Structure 1
Amino acid sequence: MSELMTPTLAGAAAGLGVAMPMGAMSVLLLQEAMRDRRTAVAAAAGIAAVDLGYAALATALGPWVASHISPVEAWVRLASAVILLVIAARGLAGARPPGVGAAASDSGLGASAGSGSGAGSGAGQVGVFVQARPGKAFVRYVGLTALNPTTALYFAALTTAQGAALRTGAAGGAFLLGVGAASLLWQQALVTLGSLAGTRIPDRARIWTFRLGYGLVAAYAVKIALPLP
């Protein structure tokens, strides 16, 4: 059981890394929660489902890719780490207070699980997302979240770099459990915040979610890059 703890925790860190940066999808989810909690719960589940789906696809292919390129495994890990560092750097560069350079909402990774490019644009779209039944909200948020390919790239880089560690079904399942649980818990936390607060989350708090989320991505990149080729 203890040998599954490592991939589970790795999956949880990966899930939080992709879910925490807040952008348009997070703003929409908060607004959904202010209108109707049941609908927002379904919407949050839709966002987490896309994270889990992308992670499952990458986990299925990552070990296969890694097993066929074992002679250059260290270089593959390094290339994956570079991709993750670029994603993290772009996100951190955008995590600035309002009026200082580019807005944090312009970051790419955020458009996936619970965030998205253009957090400010989410506020402008309130009228478009009228209250719907939970089932329709789930489908709608799945579609909106899946539009950003950066999440797929993120998980592909992670799982390819960890191909050997995720080669067994148990380890891969534990990794996916961590991803799904972390993403879902974060989205549901936003629903709770939205339903309780009733107002837009402060810009400073949103910026710190960017910094924490992309900080996790950067730390993960360093972890998989070592030892260097």
Structure 2
Amino acid sequence: MTELMTPALSGAAAGLGVAMPMGAISVLLLQDAMRHARRAAAAAAGVATVDLAYAAVATALGPWVAAHVTPVEAWVRLASAAVLLAIAGHGLWSSRAAARTPPPGAAVAADGRPAGAGTADDDGPAGASTADDGGPTGAGRAFLRYVGLTAVNPTTALYFAALTTAQGAALGGGAAAAAFLGGVGVASLLWQQLLVGVGVLAGTRISGTARAWTFRLGYGLVAACAVKIALPLP
């Protein structure tokens, strides 16, 4: 059991690293939580499902790639670390803009419409509540909507591909890979559900400063993973 703790903790760090930065999806999730808790909880599960799916594909392919590049394994680790550092650096730089971005009430959704505006998945006008908004049908639509919105983000796929390829043989065993994926899934889901809870309790606005700090913490974890992967240097 002890030997599975390391990949599980690595997976949890990876899951938080990709989930914590508050981008457009997080803003939309907070806004949905302010209106309909059950629908937002289903949406949060959709986001975590995509994170887990990308991690699973990357974990399945990572050891295979690593096995075919054994002679240059150290350089592969270094290249993967460079990719992760680039993602972290870009995210940290973007956090400066996050502090100046209008709060969720004025945010714009990923499709270009105001985030608070009604969509095809809404059961009524923005901010209005109807009988089935929080029911199974509304929750199912919210889940699928957020799966689609999250899946089109290529950074998530690139992030897990770099992370798992660099770890190579460490995730080659079935138990270790399962522990890693379990850590990713649980950490991502818990963070998304925490956002839902914040939205339900607050019902108001999240400050730009708070959003910027989630960027810094999340991408700080990504940078830490990159450094861990890069050492020892070739």
Q: Is residue 197 of structure 2 the alignment partner of residue 211 of structure 1? A: no
In structure 2, the partner of 1:8 is 8
Q: Give the aligned residue type for 1:63.
A: P
Match of 1:46 in 2: 46
The residue number in structure 2 matching 1:112 is: none
Whether the 8 Å contact between 1:94 and 1:104 is mirrored in structure 2 is no
Q: Which of residues 106, 114, 117 is equivalent to 1:124? A: 114
Q: Equivalents in 2 of 1:127, 1:2: separation in Å?
A: 49
For structure 2, the 5+ residue unaligned runs are 124-132
Distance in 2, matches of 1:212 and 1:20, equals 7
Q: Percent identity?
A: 70
- Structure 1 residue 95, shift from structure 2 partner: 1.0
- Write the letter of the residue equivalent to 1:163: G
Contact 1:7 1:171 in 2 (8 A): yes
- Whole-angstrom distance in 2 between the partners of 1:153 and 1:147: 12
Residue identity in the other structure for 2:193: Q
**In the alignment, which residue of structure 1 is the partner of 2:73?**
73
In structure 2, do the counterparts of structure 1 residues 86 and 5 end up closer, same or farther at CA, with 3 Å as the change threshold? same
Query: Which structure has the larger Rg?
Result: 2
Q: Which consecutive residues of structure 1, in runs of 5 or more, have no partner in the other structure?
A: 106-118
Q: CA deviation at 1:125?
A: 2.4
Match of 2:194 among 186, 189, 195: 189
Report the Cα distance in structure 2 between the residues aligned to 1:68 and 1:104, rounded to whole angstroms.
48
Structure 2 distance, partners of 1:160, 1:20, is: 22
Q: Once the 2 structures are TM-superposed, how far is the Cα of residue 97 of structure 1 from its aligned partner?
A: 5.9
Letter in 1 for 2:219: Y
Q: CA RMSD in A?
A: 1.8
1:136 is aligned to 141
Work out the CA distance in 2 between the residues paired with 1:99 and 1:135. 33
Q: Which amino acid in the other structure matches residue 29 of structure 1?
A: L
1:124 Cα deviation after fit = 2.0
The farther-off stretch of 120-129 and 174-183 is 120-129
C-alpha separation between the residues in 2 aligned to 1:128 and 1:170?
44
Write the distance in 2 (CA, Å) between the matches of 1:104 and 1:95: 13
